[in-house]
Amino acid sequence: MAISLFDKIWDRHVVSKETEINPATLYIDLHLIHEVTSPQAFSVLEHRGLAVKNPAKTLATIDHSTPTIFDDDGKPLYVSAQAEKQVNTLLANTKAHGITVHGWDSPNRGIVHVMGPELGATRPGMTIVCGDSHTSTHGAFGALAFGIGTTQVGHVLATQCILMRKPKSMLIHVKGDVSPDVCAKDIILAIIADIGVGGGTGYVLEYKGACFDAMSMDERMTVCNMSIEAGARAGLIAPDQTTCNYLEGREYTPKGEAFESACADWLSLRSDAGCHYDAEVELKAEDIRPMVTYGTHPGMAMPIDALIPAPRDEAEENALAYMDVKAGTPMTGQKVDMVFIGSCTNSRLIDLRSAAKYFAGQKVASSVRAVIVAGSEVIKKQAEAEGLDKVFIQAGAEWREPGCSMCIGMNGDIGAPGQLIVSTSNRNFAGRQGPQVRTVLASPATAAASAISGVVTDPRTIDLGDAA
């Protein structure tokens, strides 16, 4: 029988089968935790006198509430005592339960969805959960990875399992070749615009097509990261040689012969030809162009050279009013106040390299503040080794310490009311980057080009000269 990647992973992890009455009990191979969604779960454990079942299958980091600037003594400048307490609560909880945590002193600290893959803790065929909706990122490795709520964080801590009914499956097939000036962010924004913000609700998506095969792991993570923005539980890309090459030699990756046999197993996970999906969607790669959002959810996205479409309902009308933009006009040329390059969507090395091309030898427009935040300590070091930090700083951009930063603004990195921010993050919800802040989601190339010109800019209109 032809079996899909999703079915193969699901079947391997069923502890007890789903019935009409009961959900399945699903075994979880890796539980990632961070400071925001875990404290109440640890409280429940304590309250019930339960231990953490498998500390070794749990991995922690601090990323959301952590400042990206330090004071002169090198101490993090917290936005509030409460944020500091939240971080310290995680450090204390992980210590008490014997869980590995990448705190301030770790060279591997980073945004949870950047750090897991970097360490090789994320591997094909695994089930991975985290109290964070962008856990879908890890699907880039062919792992079934999804966000859970705090109650379930408690369940996994105590039992290494969750209760879940099997989601439906949807194949997203992008046919043909994409133009070289289209990046992973543009492809996923085009998919979300096509199926809608609720289009994936109830489904696990599997991405198929030459454009995904050709992508690096960094790019595949950008795609799977935003699966949740179409409402999907998870997104998957089949493991291939690119996946194996990325993982080889990483801390948690099996070594030697064990690596060879692991690779053979990973490669066997690919969906069998002719397997069943509950739904299938096809997009033409040649239609995809660099994308921007113009509204207040990621589905309100369009090609950057298009005009804002007429609102289809009251919600979209309100969204245009919030964004202070008009149907029938372009997004390009809109005055930009801030640019944020970072987040678990676009803060990896290739994203920073792509942005640096536009900053090289240029100055950030005088009316713009550009903030660049690597996704992890590892990426920060790599970027600095390549001199990217100098490129950004010389252009007048801020080069910060790794973390979620302006993606969610929990650490105080936010814009001022009314400001327009071109952001490489994943959510343009009203107020996400600060009250009344207007967020435009785009690729690192578009964000960087906009930082230099001071208005929303189609990166294809910038002549990069020799740098390209």
Partner 1 sequence: MSFDPISHVKSKTLVLSAANIDTDQIIPARFLTVTDRDGLGKLAFNDWRYNKDGSDTDHILNTEAAKACQILVAGHNFGCGSSREHAPWALTDYGFKAVISSEIADIFHGNALKNGLLPIVIEKSAHQWLLDHPGEEISIDLAACEVHLPKNGGTYPFKIDPFSRHCLMQGIDEMDYLDDQQDAIASYEAAL
Which of 344, 365, 372, 455 touches ligand SF4 by CB under 6 A? Answer: 344
d(CA 158, CA 140): 27
Q: Does 64 bind ligand SF4 (CB under 6 A)?
A: yes
Region near ligand SF4 per CB under 6 A, out of 86-94, 164-172, 246-254, 404-412: 404-412
* Residue 412: CB minimum distance to ligand SF4, A: 14
Q: What backbone torsions phi and psi does residue 59 show, to the nearest 5 degrees?
A: -140, 130
Q: Work out whether 155 is an interface residue with ligand SF4 (CB under 6 A).
A: no
Stretch that binds partner 1, among 13-21, 114-122, 243-251, 364-372 (CB under 8 A): 13-21
101 binds partner 1 (CB under 8 A): no
Q: Is 404 in the site for ligand SF4 (CB under 6 A)?
A: yes
Which residues from 95-124 bind ligand SF4, rule CB under 6 A?
111-113
Task: Pick out residues in 417-456 that bind ligand SF4 (CB under 6 A).
Answer: 425-426
**Residue 252, interface with partner 1 (CB under 8 A)?**
no
3-state secondary structure the chain: CCCCHHHHHHHHCEEECCCCCCCEEEECCEEEECCCCCHHHHHHHHHHCCCCCCHHHEEEECCCCCCCCECCCCCECCCCHHHHHHHHHHHHHHHHHCCEEECCCCCCCECHHHHHHHHCCCCCCCEEEECCHHHHHHHHHCCEEEECCHHHHHHHHHHCEEEECCCEEEEEEEECCCCCCCCHHHHHHHHHHHHCCCCCCCEEEEEECHHHHCCCHHHHHHHHHHHHHHCCCEEECCCCHHHHHHHCCCCCCCCHHHHHHHHHHHHCCCCCCCCCCCEEEEEEHHHCCCEEECCCCCCCEEECCCECCCCCCHHHHHHHHHHCCCCCCECCCCECCEEEECCCCCCCHHHHHHHHHHHCCCCCCCCCEEEEECCEHHHHHHHHHCCHHHHHHHHCCEEECCCCHHHCCCCCCCCCCCCEEEECCCCCCCCCCCCCCEEEECCHHHHHHHHHHCECCCHHHCCCHHHC
Q: 438-441 and 203-208 as β-strands: parallel, antiparallel, unpaired?
A: unpaired
Query: Does the protein bind partner 1 through residue 132 (CB under 8 A)?
Result: yes
Which of ligand SF4, partner 1, none does residue 23 bind (CB under 5 to 8 Å by kind)? Answer: partner 1
Binding segment for partner 1 among 23-31, 261-269, 443-451, 452-460 (CB under 8 A)? 23-31
Query: Which residues from 213-242 bind partner 1, rule CB under 8 A?
Result: 228, 231, 233
- Where does this chain touch partner 1 (CB under 8 A) — which range of 145-153, 259-267, 369-377, 454-462? 145-153
Out of 152, 343, 446, 457, the residue judged to bind partner 1 by CB under 8 A: 152
Contact 128, 74 (CB under 8 A): no
Using rule CB under 8 A, residue 150 touches partner 1? yes
Rule CB under 6 A: say whether 183 interacts with ligand SF4. no
Give residues 54-83 in contact with partner 1 (rule: CB under 8 A): 64-65, 79-80, 82-83
Which of 313, 463, 465, 466 binds partner 1 (CB under 8 A)? It is 313
- Between 222 and 296, CB nearer to partner 1: 296
Binding partner at 435 among ligand SF4, partner 1, none, C-beta below 5 to 8 Å by kind: partner 1
Shortest separation between residue 406's beta carbon and ligand SF4, angstroms: 9
Interface residues with partner 1 (CB under 8 A) are 15-16, 20-23, 25, 27, 36-37, 39-40, 43-44, 48, 64-65, 79-80, 82-83, 85-86, 89, 131-133, 147-152, 154-155, 158-161, 163, 165, 167, 197-198, 201-202, 228, 231, 233, 297, 313-315, 318, 408-410, 414, 417, 427, 429-432, 435
Interface residues with ligand SF4 (CB under 6 A) are 63-64, 111-113, 132, 134, 343-344, 404, 407-408, 425-426
